């Protein structure tokens, strides 16, 4: 079947299999930031936005993004760098494999919360697993990022 969608502000028209998953679709188009960490929709590594909402691309049919807008980390380079600088400063990325999904969800959170509390942050990001960092350095970085964003407003 054929689908048309916008990914990172570029239109793609592609012939796809009906059961192709969004993660495999965007990776095949070269958006390799999107990672797969599990088979059971539990890890959050594959987070992308569909129509601006964070979702697990491993659990979305590519067929379903027909005429919709998909955003991966490649489409948010500047925003990713802004968050990334705080994470890098703490050494929070470690192996980095969960970072793209985490940053996608941090940026999604930013659209819902101007100044999230520590609890808001932990709740919103609970579906983003990380095995390296123990989360503490991520929290330090995220809190500093939102502090700065708050001051800039």
Are the C-beta atoms of residues 58 and 36 closer than 8 Å to each other? yes
Tell which residue, 106, 140, 136, 104, has the closest CA to residue 124: 106
Q: Which C-beta is closer to another protein: that of 7 or that of 47?
A: 47
User: Among residues 7, 71, 100, 107, which is the contact residue for another protein, using CB under 8 A?
Assistant: 100
- Within 54-83, the residues that bind another protein by CB under 8 A are 54-56, 58-61, 63-64, 66, 72-74, 77, 80-81, 83
Contact between 130 and 142 under an 8 Å Cβ cutoff? The reply is: no
Half-sphere exposure of 102 (CA within 13 A, CB side): 26
CB of 8 to another protein, least distance (A): 12
Q: Is 111 in the site for another protein (CB under 8 A)?
A: no
Note whether 150 binds another protein by CB under 8 A.
no
């Amino acid at each position: 079947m054929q689908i048309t969608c916008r990914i990172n502000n570029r239109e793609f028209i592609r012939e796809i299999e009906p059961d192709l998953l969004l993660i495999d679709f965007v990776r095949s188009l070269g958006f390799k930031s999107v990672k797969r960490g599990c088979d059971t929709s539990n890890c959050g590594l594959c987070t992308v936005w569909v129509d601006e909402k964070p979702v697990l691309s491993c659990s979305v049919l590519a067929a379903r993004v027909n005429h919709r807008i998909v955003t991966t980390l490649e489409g948010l380079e500047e925003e990713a760098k802004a968050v990334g600088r705080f994470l890098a400063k703490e050494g929070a990325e470690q192996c980095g494999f969960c970072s793209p999904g985490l940053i996608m969800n941090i940026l999604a959170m930013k659209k819902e919360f101007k100044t999230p509390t520590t609890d808001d942050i932990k709740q919103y990001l609970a579906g983003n697993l990380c095995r390296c960092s123990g989360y503490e350095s991520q929290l330090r970085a995220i809190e500093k990022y939102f502090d700065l964003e708050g001051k800039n407003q």
